[in-house]
């Protein structure tokens, strides 16, 4: 038996995510896909269903979309648990897919019970980082994996929109970001930005204001605009609080920190901590923030020529986390490294600049990297083109090269 209907046609594969899940298919481990609303988590569930059905044409699929009114009768952990058990296969394995699991009250209790059943294979999605990683880690330690789904990478953007890698294509990506549904809209700024504004409003009201009972809505919206204006800038909750006081908005630093945390949980922004490269420690105060989706940022703040350096830096950060790196801002004596990136015990150091036309910029970007005395790869990424030698052995790449290689 299957409750899954209206299977989408012509799905564009996002193999990097599907391949990470494949090893766990059929295992008694909950597979949780998290990420901002509309980044394509549901379609990844559909692709997993498609893969499972190709492998086993007799597979029993149970699909539950908790944003669909057809499932509005499922409100609590007990109701979800009973529904799954009453609709499972009587003879073989049932593959259970639950979309937007956070809509269920005490959902972790249902998952804790269901994962004990050997004939159930469970997959779920959620749009709240803390809710899933926090609650599941508490009650299901070792019994779940979490895979964060990001907006389309640049190469995925090209595939989805059937574009070639050109300067114009990169400009579209920088302006509109990588929400998958954009392929269904006319390629016009006013249409795309209207859609993105609506997505932003949905996230703000459903995933933050309603869920956390936020009262100061005006401050929340002003905070997002502040972050858009200061994308990639170094500051603390106290600095934000002091700035807001100058704008006649009183908000204590601890309240600012709470609102920032809500924005992180809803995947609107990513917080990047500072790391002392020499002392090998993380600073407790001072961090940078980048937007999960630049199209959403640009739709509420504007796509401004004076922001190009910020946008390029944000794109580089997004690509690094998409590739699986843990990223921090590097601190060295009298200088800073934009990104210190770690994966599988290895590091790379990355500097980002809009252009290298001035000697002072060249000396600063490459010079800071030369102060690091280990032998891990170091690179400078810029928007402008350059084909030539390295600088003292340090690699230079254009943004397009970095995003496509």
What's the token pair of residue 171? Answer: 């400009």
Q: pLDDT category, 269, cuts 50, 70, 90?
A: very high
What's the token pair of residue 369? Answer: 């990297």
Query: What would the mean pLDDT of 272-288 be, rounded to a whole number?
Result: 89
Cβ neighbours for 79, distance < 8 A, ≥ 6 positions apart: 73, 104
Distance CA 167, CA 164 (A): 9
Distance CA 380, CA 370 (A): 11
Distance CA 140, CA 144 (A): 7
CB 21 within 8 A of CB 48: yes
**Residue 177 CA: distances (Å) to CA of 23, 121, 153, 305:** 30, 34, 9, 16
Q: What is the pLDDT of residue 360?
A: 85
pLDDT at 393 over 50: yes
Query: What would the mean pLDDT of 12-17 be, rounded to a whole number?
Result: 91
Instruction: Please give the domain boundaries of the chain with CATH numbers for all domains.
Output: 15-148 (3.40.50.300), 154-404 (no CATH)
pLDDT tens, position by position, 145-204: 999 999 999 999 999 999 999 999 999 999 999 999 999 999 999 999 999 999 999 999
Cβ neighbours for 133, distance < 8 A, ≥ 6 positions apart: 34, 146
What percentage of the chain exceeds 90 in pLDDT? 69
Burial of residue 97 (CB within 10 Å: 0-12, 13-18, 19+) is buried
Is the alpha carbon torsion for 153, 383, 174, 367 positive or negative? positive
Q: What is the pLDDT of residue 245?
A: 80
Instruction: Decide: helix, strand or coil at residue 19.
Output: helix
pLDDT tens, position by position, 363-387: 888 999 999 989 999 999 999 877 6
Distance CA 348, CA 10 (A): 37
Q: What is the pLDDT of residue 130?
A: 67
pLDDT at 67 over 80: yes
Q: pLDDT category, 133, cuts 50, 70, 90?
A: low
Query: What would the mean pLDDT of 226-251 be, rounded to a whole number?
Result: 86
pLDDT at 5 over 70: no
Instruction: Decide: helix, strand or coil at residue 169.
Output: helix
Q: pLDDT category, 4, cuts 50, 70, 90?
A: low
Q: What is the pLDDT of residue 87?
A: 95
Q: List phi, psi (to 5°) of 57.
A: -65, -20
More confident of the two residues 139 and 197: 197
Average pLDDT, the chain: 91
**Residue 356 CA: distances (Å) to CA of 95, 228, 318, 382, 403:** 53, 25, 22, 7, 19
Q: What is the pLDDT of residue 232?
A: 95
pLDDT at 263 over 90: yes
Q: What is the pLDDT of residue 1?
A: 45
What's the token pair of residue 90? Answer: 């009587």
pLDDT tens, position by position, 302-341: 999 999 999 999 999 999 999 999 999 999 998 899 999 9
Distance CA 314, CA 347 (A): 19
Distance CA 275, CA 372 (A): 13
Distance CA 53, CA 60 (A): 9
pLDDT at 392 over 90: no
Distance CA 71, CA 192 (A): 30
Which segment, 49-63, 177-191, 351-365, is predicted with the most confidence on average? 177-191
187: left (phi over 0), alpha (psi -120 to 50) or beta: beta
Q: What is the pLDDT of residue 3?
A: 44
Distance CA 69, CA 145 (A): 28
Report helix, strand and coil shares of the chain as percent, to nearest 5.
Answer: 45, 20, 35
């Amino acid at each position: 038996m299957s409750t899954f209907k209206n299977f989408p046609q012509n799905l564009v594969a996002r193999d990097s995510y599907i391949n990470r899940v494949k090893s766990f298919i059929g295992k008694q481990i909950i597979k949780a896909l998290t990420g901002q609303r509309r980044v394509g988590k549901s379609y990844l569930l559909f692709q997993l269903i498609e893969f499972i059905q190709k492998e086993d044409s007799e597979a029993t699929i149970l699909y539950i979309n908790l944003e669909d009114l057809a499932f509005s009768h499922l409100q609590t952990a007990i109701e979800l648990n009973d529904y799954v058990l009453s609709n499972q296969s009587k003879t073989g394995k049932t593959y259970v897919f639950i979309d937007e699991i956070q809509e269920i009250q005490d959902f972790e209790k249902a998952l804790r019970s269901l994962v004990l059943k050997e004939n159930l294979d469970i997959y779920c999605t959620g749009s709240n980082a803390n809710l899933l990683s926090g609650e599941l880690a508490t009650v299901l330690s070792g019994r779940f994996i979490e895979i964060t789904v990001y907006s389309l990478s640049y190469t995925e953007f090209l595939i989805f929109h059937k574009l070639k890698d050109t300067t114009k294509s990169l400009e579209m990506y920088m302006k509109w970001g990588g929400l998958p549904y954009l392929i269904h809209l006319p390629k016009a700024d006013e249409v795309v930005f209207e859609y993105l504004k609506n997505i932003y409003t949905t996230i703000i009201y459903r995933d933050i204001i309603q869920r956390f009972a936020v009262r100061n809505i005006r401050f929340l919206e002003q905070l997002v605009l502040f972050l858009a204006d200061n994308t990639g800038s170094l500051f603390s909750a106290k600095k934000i609080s002091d700035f807001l006081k100058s704008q006649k908005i009183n908000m204590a630093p601890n309240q600012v920190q709470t609102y920032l945390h809500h924005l992180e949980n809803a995947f609107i922004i990513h917080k990047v901590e500072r790391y002392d490269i020499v002392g090998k420690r993380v600073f407790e105060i001072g961090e940078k923030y980048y937007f999960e989706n630049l199209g959403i940022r640009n739709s509420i703040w504007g796509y401004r020529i004076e922001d190009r350096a910020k946008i390029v830096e944000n794109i580089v950060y997004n690509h690094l986390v998409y590739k699986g790196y843990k990223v921090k801002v590097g601190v060295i004596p009298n200088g800073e490294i934009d990104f210190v990136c770690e994966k599988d015990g290895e590091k790379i150091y990355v500097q980002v600049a809009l252009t290298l036309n001035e000697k002072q910029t060249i000396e600063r970007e490459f010079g800071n990297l030369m102060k690091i005395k280990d032998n891990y790869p170091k690179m400078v990424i810029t928007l402008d083109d350059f084909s030539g030698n390295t600088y003292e052995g340090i690699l230079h790449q254009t943004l397009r090269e970095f995003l496509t290689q």
